[in-house]
Chains A and B, each alone.
Chain A
Amino acid sequence: MVDVAGRDVPALAAELGAAGVGGVISFTDDQLELASRLSMALGLEGNPPEVVERLVDKAAQRRALARAGLPGPRFVVLAPGVSDHEVVHRVAVLGGPVVVKPVRGSGSRHTARFDDVGDVAGHLRSVDGAGSVGWIVEEWLGGCRPSVAEPFADYVSVEAVGRQGVVVPLAVTGKFPLAEPCRETGNFLPHHLDPDVATAVRDVAVRAAGALGVRSGALHIEVKLTRTGPQVIEVNGRVGGGAIDALFDSVYGCSLTGLAAGVAVGDPVDPVVSEAPRIDGIAYAYFVQPPCGAGRLAALDGLEGLAAIDGVTA
């Protein structure tokens, strides 16, 4: 084991190279930059730092997607500590509803949807300090025809792996509807979409990865199903959360984490790995979110009954 704390990249690369390390991979957004610099220093498979910047910085990502001509929402980027007056003035052009996110962040932390843009300034005051590199405010992408998504969420994700600049989409993951104000409640595989919609979703996801210059590694690409076709919500340079890796493993018999690690050491990606589900049914992970206004958990009973639900495995 090599402790990276407080050490610079050249010193780490020298030690890792001497140890014969054949691949570098990160499973969190926070370590993507270090993984990139180490893999570049060692001459290994990986994404260059400028690509990682577009993966972890939501503003840089939106700009890159727009430059590449991908359809997407209008957006405004706000600096940390922005005044209420400036928020009101700049966000007004978006109309409503909007979604507000930290420029860097994951897991929907400090992320919220507002029907009225007049509420954005108050929200930013309440989460002061969370957006250390600023905020991005986006138009809320309108949902698709109800028949396409209901009763599930009107967005999905594409799980993919890139190797040497070729991005292979491996699965489209369906979602349970969001909890207020923007929290995820679960995933399922295989997806519920019509084949033509799923093909369009995979296509836009691969185009988005290309627009960011992604060369390597796991990708979790969220896509909204809008009335005018699928549009990218965001591209993440890691395996998706919400038990997606476990679901993928249970359905297709291999893990996305394992595939990404294989790519890091030069293994090819077999696109047929996810062509045929190995289970009869739909694997799901459901997450119970507390109401927005809840401040403390006072009682939680009935857990023993959950294991008795037909089909529950874990």
Chain B
Amino acid sequence: MTVNRVVGDELDWRDGSQGYLVSVRGVARDLVDLTGVPERVRDLLDVSYGRPVALSAT
């Protein structure tokens, strides 16, 4: 897996697809198995978000 953002990083949807948090590569057995990949990954991750630093400081 690749971790692309660490705790404390500011997030902005305007960064586009490169603003992802984590990527996972693998091989699914078939299309049914592939369908479940996003849910399996998200279920394992425990993620929480805050406001941007600049806004939190005000």
Contact surface of A with B, Cβ cutoff 8 Å: 107-112, 127, 130, 151-152, 176, 180-186, 188, 192, 241-243, 246-247, 250, 279, 281-303, 305-307, 309, 311-314
Contact = CB atoms under 8 A, between A and B. Distances in A.
Contacts of A311: 26-29, 33
Contacts of A313: 25-27
The 10 A-B residue pairs with the shortest CB-CB distance in the complex, in nearest-first order: A295-B52, A108-B16, A109-B16, A294-B49, A312-B26, A287-B20, A305-B44, A184-B17, A301-B46, A298-B50
Interface in B1-46: 1-3, 5-31, 33-35, 37-38, 40-42, 44-46
Given A181-B13, A288-B20, 20 more contacts: A108-B17, A109-B15, A111-B16, A180-B13, A283-B26, A284-B27, A284-B37, A286-B25, A287-B22, A290-B21, A294-B11, A295-B10, A296-B53, A297-B6, A298-B49, A300-B22, A303-B3, A303-B45, A306-B22, A306-B41
A296 B52 contact: yes
Contact of B14 (A130, A188, A281): A130
Interface residues of B, number: 50
A109 B46 contact: no
A181 to B, nearest CB: 6
A161 B45 CA distance: 38
B32 to A, nearest CB: 10
Contacts of A296: 8-11, 49-53, 56
Given A309-B44, A314-B1, A284 B9 contact: no
